[in-house]
Amino acid sequence: MGVATKASRRTAKPKAKKRSPWWRRIKIAFAVFLILGEAAFIYASYEGYKRLEAASLVVPNMPDIMAEISSSPSQIVAADGTVLFTIQTEYRKPVHRSDIPQNVVNATLAAEDKRFYSHIGVDPIAIGRILYRRAKDDGNSGGGSTLTMQLSKRVYTSSEQSLERKLKDMALAVQIERMLTKDQILELYVNQIFYGQGAYGIQAAADVYFGKKLDELTIAEAALLSRCVRRPSDENPFVNMDRAVTNRNVVLKIMRDEGMISEGEYQEAKNEEVKLRKEKPRVITAKKTAPYFVDYVLAELKKEGIDISRGGYRIETTLDMRYQEITDAGVKWGLRNSPKSVNQMAFLLTDTKGRILGMTPGPSYEKSQFNMMWMGRGRQPGSSFKPLVYAAGIELGVFGSRSTISTEPYMIIDDRGRKRPIKGGANRGNVSIASALAASMNTPAVRAQSMIGTRNFIRFAQTNFGFKTSNLPIAETLVLGAGEAHMLEMASAYNTFQNNGTRYPTYAIEKVVEPDGTIRYLNPNPQSRALSPGTAKAMDAFLRGVVTGGTGRAARGTNNARGKTGTTSNNKDAWFCGYTDTLLGIVWLGNEVMENGRPVSERMYGVEGGKQAAPVWNYIMSRAQKVKGEKSRPFSGVPNVGNVRESEQENNDNTPDPIEDPLPEQPPTVIDETGETTPPPLQDPPGMTTGGTTGDTTGGTTGRNSTTTTTTGGGGGGSTSGGGGGGGTTGATIYVNVCADSGQKSTVYCPETVRRPFSKGKEPRGVCPIHGPH
């Protein structure tokens, strides 16, 4: 047994070698790590050397560079180069290092760089603290920039937030420390840094805030000034005293902890009352041209993190002064020619790419700087929101461009949980979308929103039409303007119809040229496909019908006009949103009164989008169109787009419903030699005559709720106003101004009216029961 076993051992094959032990793998990994680390070190050293070499060329010219940065103002310019605003508000009083008291030096170092005299331009301890706290997800990681690095930022003034920018700052800081003494660096710093209220440099700040020289400052005052540099515009004592005192006390505590002041000095300074200078020294400020627009540009720059107060920036904008003058004059004209209840008016003019050409949010910047186009919650858009729901329905395949929608009564649940009918006019059966939009019918629009789904419609409006800041509530009457919209976003939405389905966001800034020559383009990219071309063409045809034969007829004096009126049910807002082939304009009318120091909207009795807003739109757009040189052109009908049920295929022509024949086109607006626009007289439908013509039994003009009879066949000629006379000729047509909501004769209180033909004997007998003086 034993021999056999030994033999078997001799003849057995040797076992396979075991795998390498774990320590061998570690050795290999460590070797690879060393190789990669060495390569990374070599690369980093090379990159660092390049940046240090570049920085070394800058340092010898530091004083000159600083002076150039400080003396070059930032400018905001119009598209033609016209200067709209110059920021030249720097107040300076240079001071030598020998004239800076030690308390001011100590306060500056405690606030910004307590290890200033021991580091080489970059503070490894501060950077390590930041990395540690960020690793712990501590939002209060503190700043890591040294005084020298802050000087570097004044040279590399690009607002880019990147590792490359940080490396540049560090490289220049190191070179500054190599070539300048600490006292020279400190002197540069306290003379260049912005302290708020137009003060550049510590001596200027002492004068602006306290009316003192540096050697007159108390410890508490020096500590307060030293912390202003963190947020000079928001946390200086003139703007926010509480925050300024809190910041001062933080600096005082650091000074005590670092042994710069004693405990007694700390307590005394902490309890010292801040006594500011009563009158600030005069600072050079530039007057703003197109001030509402300039304020909007400044707000947009702030959102991008661009601070142009440091000087050297050139902001090139989209504004065209030719159009700005037209919108300014047009708003003033509109207020002069509107009822007294209209005291606020705004007009926005853009081109097809979304560039703002003119912005007039109100008649007087001196009285109110509020810009309703983008500030606040927005305004209720009324029926100007209706095109959006029809576009969404066609695009989503819920219905087609030639579909018909019922006008039967529609019940909704109000805020109190009660059912109530939509005020949408008489039941006329099914009507085409073209007719429903032209007459601004409510029930078809609400029914269309219901078919889509309110949440789906909101999502579509936000994603496709660009409503990002407007308030769009989940409400069944959203399509009637139940939400609040900003004018800038309304312009962007209508721009989609103008551009064959491509939406260009509205914008004001073309590019920013930074002090170092870096160019940043801020104009947004277009949304490539907000609507399909077919849907956009259908909506374009619908909106053309609103102008030629619907509630927007007062806009017919502008070539190629398309648009939609909007009036809120309480008559607090009136709109017209429209466009041509080359321009887009949005106008809004309101009535604002001051109560307890705040603007409050009041009703505008008898004011509506079609009656007051559309004429103002026509006045401004016809003038702007003359500058643009746009000529009139023919239009095609409504294309067959989307999901049309088989039963609706018979409605496949491009003509409106029989009860809503479009009125003929109006001639272009005439601009006489004085420059004043003379709106063309409204033309009546073929065969219709108004007051003063043959057969007019009243001898006057047709009134708001007048009735006109036209003979279209048979004998008994002439036309009879007032609904009487003229005999009972067969085929007679009655034209009546009716309320778009109730379908009855309109009164001065009806928000939307339409002039509609009826077969004689079928015309409405009563006046609108919905709207009245209540």
Residue 543 falls within a domain, yes or no? yes
Q: Please report, for the domain that includes residue 204, its CATH number.
A: 1.10.3810.10
Cβ atoms 295, 369 nearer than 8 A:
yes
The pLDDT of residue 5 is above 50: no
The pLDDT of residue 710 is above 60: no
Residue 388 falls within a domain, yes or no? yes
Neighbours of 96 (CB within 10 A): 9
Give the separation between CA 603 and CA 773, rounded to whole angstroms. 10
Q: Are residues 633 and 694 both part of a single domain?
A: no
Residue 194 falls within a domain, yes or no? yes
Q: Are residues 635 and 703 both part of a single domain?
A: no
Cβ atoms 551, 740 nearer than 8 A:
yes
Q: Closest Cα to residue 346, out of 356, 354, 355?
A: 356
Neighbours of 741 (CB within 10 A): 24
Strand, helix or coil for residue 138 = coil
Q: Which tokens is 452 given?
A: 């889509």
The pLDDT of residue 723 is above 60: no
Q: What is the pLDDT of residues 67-123, one digit of tens each?
A: 555 556 889 999 999 999 987 656 778 899 999 999 999 999 999 888 888 887 777
The pLDDT of residue 531 is above 70: yes
Percent of the chain with pLDDT over 70: 71
pLDDT mean over 642-652 = 49
- CA distances for 284 relative to 229, 289, 309, 754, angstroms: 21, 16, 13, 56
Q: What is the pLDDT of residues 173-200, one digit of tens each?
A: 787 888 788 998 898 889 888 888 878 8
Q: Are residues 578 and 695 both part of a single domain?
A: no
Q: Which tokens is 332 given?
A: 């003033």
Q: Are residues 584 and 731 both part of a single domain?
A: no
Cβ atoms 386, 440 nearer than 8 A:
yes
Give the separation between CA 13 and CA 368, rounded to whole angstroms. 99
Q: Are residues 516 and 383 both part of a single domain?
A: yes
The pLDDT of residue 44 is above 70: no
93: left (phi > 0), else alpha (psi -120 to 50), else beta? beta
Q: How confident is the model at residue 585 (pLDDT cuts 50, 70, 90)?
A: very high
Q: Please report, for the domain that includes residue 445, its CATH number.
A: 3.40.710.10
Q: Are residues 655 and 691 both part of a single domain?
A: no
The pLDDT of residue 296 is above 90: yes
| 264 sits in which H/E element | helix 263-270
Q: Closest Cα to residue 738, out of 655, 660, 656, 657?
A: 660
Number of domains observed in the structure of the chain: 3
DSSP code string of 121-155: SS-HHHHHHHHHHHHTT-S-------HHHHHHHHH
Q: Of 230, 254, 270, which residue sits at a domain end?
A: 270
Segments of 194-283 assigned E as strands:
199-200
Q: Are residues 329 and 258 both part of a single domain?
A: no
Residue 83 falls within a domain, yes or no? yes
The pLDDT of residue 249 is above 90: yes
Task: Specify which residues 75 forms β-bridges with.
Answer: 86, 314
Strand, helix or coil for residue 245 = helix
Q: Of 249, 270, 291, which residue sits at a domain end?
A: 270
Q: Of 659, 678, 708, which residue sits at a domain end?
A: 659
The pLDDT of residue 542 is above 80: yes
Helix residue ranges per DSSP H, 416-486? 433-438, 442-452, 454-463
Residue with tokens 């009487």: 724
Q: Are residues 86 and 214 both part of a single domain?
A: yes
Strand, helix or coil for residue 206 = helix
Give the separation between CA 622 and CA 618, rounded to whole angstroms. 6
Q: Are residues 771 and 622 both part of a single domain?
A: no
Task: Specify which residues 588 forms β-bridges with.
Answer: 346, 575
pLDDT mean over 667-691 = 31
Strand, helix or coil for residue 584 = strand
Q: Are residues 735 and 649 both part of a single domain?
A: no
Q: What is the pLDDT of residue 239?
A: 83
- Sign (positive/negative) of CA torsion 244, 249, 252, 253? negative
Torsions phi, psi of 471, nearest 5? -95, 105
458: left (phi > 0), else alpha (psi -120 to 50), else beta? alpha
Q: What is the pLDDT of residue 151?
A: 78
pLDDT mean over 345-367 = 94
Segments of 591-706 assigned E as strands:
592-595, 598-601, 670-671, 677-678
Q: Are residues 237 and 365 both part of a single domain?
A: no
Residue 28 falls within a domain, yes or no? no
pLDDT mean over 455-474 = 94
* Structural domain span for residue 477: 325-659
Local structure of residue 97 (DSSP, 8 states): G
Q: What is the pLDDT of residue 573?
A: 94
Give the separation between CA 66 and CA 98, rounded to whole angstroms. 20
Residue 625 falls within a domain, yes or no? yes
201: left (phi > 0), else alpha (psi -120 to 50), else beta? left
Q: What is the pLDDT of residue 356?
A: 98
Residue 287 falls within a domain, yes or no? no
Q: Are residues 262 and 338 both part of a single domain?
A: no
Pairing of strands 314-317, 74-77: parallel
Q: What is the pLDDT of residue 558?
A: 97
Residue 650 falls within a domain, yes or no? yes
